[in-house]
Amino acid sequence: MQKITDVCNQFYDIELLKGEKQKNADVSDSFMTDDDTEKIKEMWAYHMPCILLLHKAEYWHKLKPIYSEIYTDLSLAVRKSLAASLLEIAKIHLDEQFLTQVLTTYTSATENEEVKSRSFQHLIDYIKLVQPDK
């Protein structure tokens, strides 16, 4: 049971996601490959709104460093998932300055077209959320 707990804790390990720390060799080398860190990032990206919804806005202080690390990830799957969920995350916890920075990045001219498309789908709703009186 302890091995399962140790592996699960790696999902919350920001140093591992940043690549600054190697995974725990005793626990995970026997079944985790080098691609697993990328898969973990993809799962975080996909499930971020659900995790925030379950743990409420008070949990944002734990999720924001993870989100900050993965929203600029090179993986297209990670960026597409986060772009598609930006509005839902903002509805749960509006960190206006940070989320506007993410949206600006995702709608920039240098961003992938699929990521831009997913970002633009919710742009008007995001603006309404940020400035409800306009």
Distance separating alpha carbons of residues 7 and 96, to the nearest angstrom: 33
Question: Counting every residue, how long is the chain?
Answer: 134
pLDDT per position as a tens digit, 11-40: 555 555 555 555 554 444 445 566 777 787
* Contact yes or no for 21/13 (Cβ under 8 A): yes
- For the chain, residues with pLDDT lower than 50 are 1, 4-5, 7-8, 25-30
Tokens of 110: 């240098």
**What is the pLDDT at residue 30?**
47
Residues 6+ apart with CB under 8 A from 35: none
Tokens of 92: 């749960």
Q: What is the DSSP letter of 131?
A: -
**What is the pLDDT at residue 100?**
87
